[in-house]
Structure 1
Amino acid sequence: MSTFGMLTNFSGMNAYLATGISYLIGILVVGAGLLIFSILTQYNDLDEIKRGNVAVGLATGGLILSLSNVMRFAILSNNTTIGVLTWGGLGILGMIVGWWLFDKLTPQFRVDEELSKDNRSVGIMVFSVFMAISYIVGASIS
C-alpha cells in the first residue's frame, strides 16, 4: 500500500496515528465551520463574544458542539480520511442550510440583527437548530 493509501485508510493503521489524524481532521472541520460562519454573519463573532454578547456566544457554542457531534459520527462511521472529510463538509453545509432556513422561517426578525442585539432567546433557538441538524446529519451518517 502506498504512503498516501496508508494515511487515507484507517484500517490497519496504528491506533495512535489513526486517532491523531481523526483529531486533526475534526479540529480542522470545526475550525472551517467557524470561519465560514464568521464570514456569513453580519457581525464579528469574536468581538461580540468579547463584549459579553451571550446570544452570539450561545449560537457559536451551538455551532461548535453541533459540528463536533457531526464529526463524531463521521469518524465513528468511516474508515477513510476522505469519508470523514466528506461528512464533515456535509455537516457544515447542513449548518448553513439550517441557519438560512431559520432566518427565512422567522420573517418577523433577522437572526443576525437579533443576535448582535444580544437577544438571548434567538441565541437559544439558533443553538437548538444547530444541535437538531447535527443529530439529523449524524443519524444519516451512521
Structure 2
Amino acid sequence: MIGFDLLISFIVILVLQFAGMVIFSFITPFNDLEELSKGNNAVGLAFGGKFMGTAIILGVAAYTNSSILHMALWFGIGYLCLLLTYVIFDWLTPGVKLSEHLKNGNTAVGILLLTVYVGVAFAMSSLII
C-alpha cells in the first residue's frame, strides 16, 4: 500500500508543479517557452527560479502534511505568495520594467529574479511548517 500512496503523491506533486509553472507563465507578457527556445538566458534564469521556488514550497508542503488535500492547500497558499512576489517586486522597481528586461535578455535581471523567487520560497516555507 505504501507504493500506491507514494505513486499517488508523486503524481499529485508533478501535476501541482507543472500547473504552477503554467500559471506562472501567464503573468509575463511574453511566452516563456518561446523565449527559452530562442536561447534567452535571462528568461531561463528567471524561469528556473520560478521552478525552484515552486519546488521548495511544494516540497515543504508535502513534507509537513500527511494529507494530499492539506499539502495542496498549503502549496496553494505559498504559491499565491510566490506569484504576488513578481507583481510586488515589479511594482517596487518602477524604473526597471522586469518583463522588458527579461525579454531583451538582461541576464542581471534574470539572476536577480531567480534569487528573489528562491529566497521568498525559502522564507515562505518556514511559515508552512
TM-score range, shorter chain: over 0.9
Q: Where do 5+ consecutive residues of structure 1 fail to align?
A: 1-13
Asked whether the equivalents of residues 114 and 122 of structure 1 are also in contact (C-alpha less than 8 Å), the reply is yes
Structure 1 residue aligned with 2:107? 120
Structure 1 residue aligned with 2:71? 84
**TM-score normalised by length of structure 2:** 0.95
Structure 1 residue aligned with 2:18? 31
Structure 1 residue aligned with 2:33? 46
Moved over 4 A (4+): none
Looking at structure 1, the residues matched to 6 and 98 of structure 2 have their Cα atoms a distance apart, in angstroms, of 37
Structure 2 residue aligned with 1:60? 47
Asked whether the equivalents of residues 26 and 68 of structure 1 are also in contact (C-alpha less than 8 Å), the reply is no
Looking at structure 2, the residues matched to 133 and 18 of structure 1 have their Cα atoms a distance apart, in angstroms, of 30
Aligned length: 129
Structure 1 residue aligned with 2:120? 133
Any idea what the Cα deviations from partners look like across 1:13-61, whole Å, max 9, x if unmatched?
x321222122112111111111112111101100100000001000111
Q: What is the RMSD of the two structures over their aligned residues, measured on CA atoms?
A: 1.0
1:131 shift after superposition: 0.3
3-state SS in 1 of match to 2:49: helix
Looking at structure 1, the residues matched to 43 and 69 of structure 2 have their Cα atoms a distance apart, in angstroms, of 32
Identity over aligned residues, as a percent?
31
Asked whether the equivalents of residues 54 and 118 of structure 1 are also in contact (C-alpha less than 8 Å), the reply is yes
Looking at structure 2, the residues matched to 138 and 21 of structure 1 have their Cα atoms a distance apart, in angstroms, of 23
Structure 1 residue aligned with 2:91? 104
Letter in structure 1 aligned against 2:66 = N
Looking at structure 1, the residues matched to 123 and 39 of structure 2 have their Cα atoms a distance apart, in angstroms, of 31
Structure 2 residue aligned with 1:93? 80
**TM-score normalised by length of structure 1:** 0.86
